[in-house]
Amino acid sequence: MNLNDKNAELTALMEQTAGGSQNAFRQLARQLGPRMHGLAARLVGGNAAQAEDIAQEALIKLWQQAPKWQSGGSVSAFASRLVYTTAMDHHRRTHVTASLDETAMEIPEPETVTSSIAQKQTRHLLLGAMAQLPERQQQAVTLAYFHEYRAQDIASALGTTEKAVESLLVRARKSLAELLPASLSPTVH
């Protein structure tokens, strides 16, 4: 099944879900769930429990927002966007509410502390910078770098041309280069 057929199938399921079909939603969850979980896991640095929570919360949002969804877009990109925003919300909540007792319980090895802190800071900076990008750029970056789609597949998913996708990615990399510290900035091609 090519990407256009897959998107057409997902679109039909999304439209049925918008009409209240629980069966269509179950099928959507079966098809999109593993990819949503994979994206969530990458966004939270591999923490399986957090990834599961984020993926489930994003699926709930998919059900709730289905009636508002505009046909013609990529359902997969919409689901990825829900995962991304849910991960950002989760990140904000957990960093504000984490107690000292919880962090005191886990005393990591000294050599892993620095890399763990750096990794969390990098992820936090990247998520914050991506949140400032226009939605189309966020979608293109998510599909290209988190889902490893080719430009042709991204163009098909977003309903645009490969040239437009390349332009979105160039603008996104330039914006990220301005938003991120020099040590994290992507190389602008």
Write the DSSP assignment of 113-159 as a string of letters: HHHHHHHHHHHHHHHHHHHTS-HHHHHHHIIIIIS---HHHHHHHHT
Domain boundaries defined on the chain: 1-107, 109-189
Q: How confident is the model at residue 185, as a pLDDT?
A: 55
pLDDT of residue 114: 64
DSSP state of 180: S
Q: Is 109-189 assigned to CATH 1.10.10.10?
A: yes
Q: Long-range contact list for 131-136, CB < 8 A, 24+ apart? A: 131/88, 132/175, 132/179, 133/172, 133/175, 133/176, 135/81, 136/168
Strand partners for 73 = 71
CATH hierarchy code of domain 1-107:
1.10.1740.10
Give the closest residue to 150 by CA, choosing from 171, 166, 134.
Answer: 166
Distances (CA, A) of 44 to 2, 12, 40, 94, 153: 30, 31, 6, 11, 25
Specify the residue for token string 């057929």: 5
Decide which of 147 and 103 is more confident: 147
Task: Choose the most confident range, by mean pLDDT, from 26-35, 70-79, 97-106.
Answer: 26-35
Give the SS3 label for residue 172: helix
pLDDT tens digit sequence for 120-173: 777 778 878 888 888 889 888 887 887 777 888 788 777 789 999 999 999 999
Per-residue model confidence as pLDDT tens digits over 28-43: 999 999 988 888 888 7
Ranges 15-24, 62-71, 74-83, most confident: 15-24
